[in-house]
Structure 1
Amino acid sequence: MNAPPQPHSNQRSQRDPLPRAGRRDSFFDNAKYLAIVLVAMGHSWEPLRDDNRALAVLYMVVYAFHMPAFIVISGYFSRSFAFKPHQIKRLLSGVVVPYIVFETAYSLFRRWAHDPDAPVSLLDPWYLTWFLAALFIWRLTTPIWRSLRYPLAVALAIAMLATVSPKIGNDLDMQRALQFLPYFVLGLCLKPEHFKLVRTWRMRIVALPVFAVALAVGWWAKGNMNPDWFYHRDAAQELGGDWWIGPLMTLGMFGCSVLLTACFFAWVPGRRLWFTALGAGTISGYLLHGFLVKGGIWFGWFDHVSGPLGVLLCTAVAAAAVTVLCTAPVRKALKPVLEPNLDRFFREDDAAARAAKTSAPAEGPATTDRPKVPAGV
């Protein structure tokens, strides 16, 4: 008897949102690009939101999920980190060196443009560089989280304790590293099928009322909640609350952020688009756009922005600027500091060299040693 007809392989691959192993997944590149655009737009809104309630509400909603989304992706592609020589080399070249270079550059820029007495310190991350410091800490602890039975519960407990510990201090911005830790650990726990669950039309439809409710809650929160909670850089006491509010806010904001992140992923396209290739260069866009935003604040550029049209124009400029900063020419120009060759500082290891050649390239702010994943990350 004839076997039943099998679906054509091309049709099957089109229906399956998870691509074949060993290729970059357009979904993750798209997610990183869209997230970095939201980051830049949010930073451009910051000096404009005080006199614009609608913009302040949108600012809070975006801040609730754009960095959590980045951090979840960072954790997801850090799952294979196990202190192998080539992984240590990539961690130093892709995270530590950019941190040193850009922390120094931002400190000098601040002294030149705004505050001549601003300190230059590699222990106190300023503005955007906190992410690289936190990523270094998270990546080093990856084997611990991978070995625990309940890693997410432990990470949440640590984040809750951080919010009641104002004496942690500013060294390496540990408050942020600890309070954002659950999102990284969540990424470590995720599998390809989890992303497949949110990449459906049903989830896209559900995401619309979820975002509508988030905007409504944001409208209420404006004036009733300190927006600094979204930065995760202070303890509850430093934000004017009782100590017990910190753990409750940690749990509440984690739930809201994860829900909004899932809704964001639901609307991220899975196919290759004009901006997909830019997802591989989000680290340059992330680190460079801060000079434009801070320069705009210190030099008074935002003082000339007024009215809805002005806000829209400012938003479009921010999106366009960060897009340009993610392009291949910019990445190539910054390669000596974003992906320096440190081979001369390491012992030659044939096995490590072979492993490094077969590993995927580093990524966005979520620079990582990535395992072989289904289709194209």
Structure 2
Amino acid sequence: MTAAASQTQRVPFWDNARFACVTLVVIGHGVQRLIADFDGALVLYLVIYAFHMPAFAIISGYFSKAGPPSVKAMRRVLTDIVLPYVIMESIWTLVQFLVEGSSEFNPSQPSWTLWFLLALAIFRLVLPYLALLRWPLLISVVLSVGVGYFANVDSTFSLSRAIGILPFFVLGWKLREGALVDEWLRRPTGSTLIRILAGIVLAAWTAIVIAHRDTFRDVDLRFWFFYSESYHGLGEDVWWAGFVRLGLMALAVLLSAAFLVLLPRGRNWTTALGRRTMVVYLLHSFVLYPIRESGFLQSDAAAQWWVLPVVAFCLALSAALATEPVARLVRPLIEPRPSWLFADGLPPRGGAPRARPTSGAGPRED
């Protein structure tokens, strides 16, 4: 979802992975209203939610830099994350007012999917500091497990959720440092054995969910996958609750790896769409929201018949929102260029920075 580091040539695999992950997000949100009435929807939901946001965080971390932030990097946190968040949160406030009559504008409590934008901002701010430490991945895991014991760390500015999934972001960054992923991508074709094992891993998790669906429903396992509640809020105010989160984090890494291994590495119809996944992520909720709130999908008798049509609709929606015409239409909202906001203006994307018109110095380093 995050913009890749500048490269002379994009790697198709990562664009394919971005689109696959964002499509899982859309499907998960689409079937959520069906899980109370149909076990099949619950199984699909739990299989997806066990790893789809951790996989997103891993990909985001893979393309992140841990060095001291440049002026350009700091500006992009504002223009690519903070400003779109404020704009989309404002739109959400208007939509909720029209649908529910709610008129409260509270940017400290992100609406629905917008939490990930704030999480990305937090990741980018803390990564240079974590990179200074000897064991950044281990420390991020300790933070993630430990934050669950503090009920006062909540969803305000997505803090609890950002800390919760921070290890996946750091893991992605560490993978970029190693040669394992690059070596795998350089192979003409992926190892058949590895793909078979990856398929077995995903199938095994699906089988476990099917076999224990009633238990997982009773313990509200889906809420553990949000990484947003304290253990007390999850109803597990016990000393060993952190080990549950640790186990679920290990499961998420395993499932993410299996999922990514099975994705195509060459160019296909999803490759170009994978360049515009932020558009899909931010806009799909506005399409699904009125459907969810209408109660149209909440019917005991019809729930089982709606799963496949909803999945098909979500696939089509994800593909449609990732097209260039849609991206061009909403670009001012998702990629604002507010030159008036910065003291020395804002150069065009990819362009050279401009000198301050009031100074006699040359162009400033950006």
Q: State the TM bucket, normalised to the shorter chain.
A: 0.7 to 0.9
Task: Find out whether 1:98 has 2:84 as its counterpart.
Answer: yes
Residue 318 of structure 1: SS of its match in structure 2? helix
Task: Find out whether 1:86 has 2:72 as its counterpart.
Answer: yes
Q: Distance in 2 between matches of 1:238 and 1:307?
A: 29
Q: Distance in 2 between matches of 1:354 and 1:108?
A: 31
> Residue type matched to 1:216 in 2?
A
> What's the TM-score once normalised by structure 2's chain length?
0.86
> Residue type matched to 2:84 in 1?
P
1:200 to 191, 197, 216: 191
Q: Distance in 2 between matches of 1:337 and 1:127?
A: 18
Aligned residues: 336
* Counterpart for residue 187 of structure 1: 172
Residue 118 of structure 2: SS of its match in structure 1? helix
1:73 to 59, 71, 90: 59
Residue 10 of structure 2: SS of its match in structure 1? coil
Q: Distance in 2 between matches of 1:88 and 1:306?
A: 50
Q: Distance in 2 between matches of 1:300 and 1:355?
A: 43
Q: Distance in 2 between matches of 1:311 and 1:52?
A: 9
- Which segment is superposed worse, 269-278 or 220-229? 220-229
Q: Distance in 1 between matches of 2:349 and 2:332?
A: 22
Task: Find out whether 1:249 has 2:267 as its counterpart.
Answer: no
> What's the TM-score once normalised by structure 1's chain length?
0.83
* Counterpart for residue 276 of structure 2: 281
Q: Distance in 1 between matches of 2:146 and 2:318?
A: 35
Contact 1:146 1:188 in 2 (8 A): no
Counting aligned pairs with the same residue, the percent is: 31
- Which segment is superposed worse, 313-322 or 101-110? 101-110
Q: Distance in 2 between matches of 1:81 and 1:242?
A: 39
Q: Distance in 2 between matches of 1:353 and 1:119?
A: 35
1:354 CA drift (Å): 10
Task: Find out whether 1:55 has 2:50 as its counterpart.
Answer: no
> Residue type matched to 1:182 in 2?
P
> Residue type matched to 1:127 in 2?
W
* Counterpart for residue 219 of structure 1: 210
Contact 2:96 2:102 in 1 (8 A): no
Instruction: Indicate the RMSD between aligned Cα atoms, in angstroms.
Output: 2.3
Q: Distance in 1 between matches of 2:214 and 2:67?
A: 43
Residue 51 of structure 1: SS of its match in structure 2? coil
> Residue type matched to 1:104 in 2?
S
Identify unmatched segments of 5+ residues in structure 2. Answer: 1-6, 353-366
1:147 to 110, 114, 132: 132
* Counterpart for residue 302 of structure 1: 297
Identify unmatched segments of 5+ residues in structure 1. Answer: 1-20, 359-377
Equivalence map 1:1-377=2 (5 Å): 22-80=8-66, 82-114=68-100, 116-117=101-102, 119-191=104-176, 193-195=179-181, 196-197=183-184, 199-224=190-215, 225-226=219-220, 227-303=222-298, 306=302, 308-348=304-344, 356-357=350-351
Higher relative contact order (CA 8 A, sep 6+): 1
Query: Structure 1 residues 133, 260: closer, same or farther in 2, change over 3 A?
Result: same
1:220 CA drift (Å): 4.0
Per-residue CA shift, 1:51-98, capped at 9, x if unaligned?
221221121011111111111111111125532011111111111111
1:345 CA drift (Å): 3.1
Per-residue CA shift, 1:312-352, capped at 9, x if unaligned?
11110111012111111111111112112233433549xx9
Contact 2:202 2:259 in 1 (8 A): no
Q: Distance in 2 between matches of 1:221 and 1:175?
A: 28
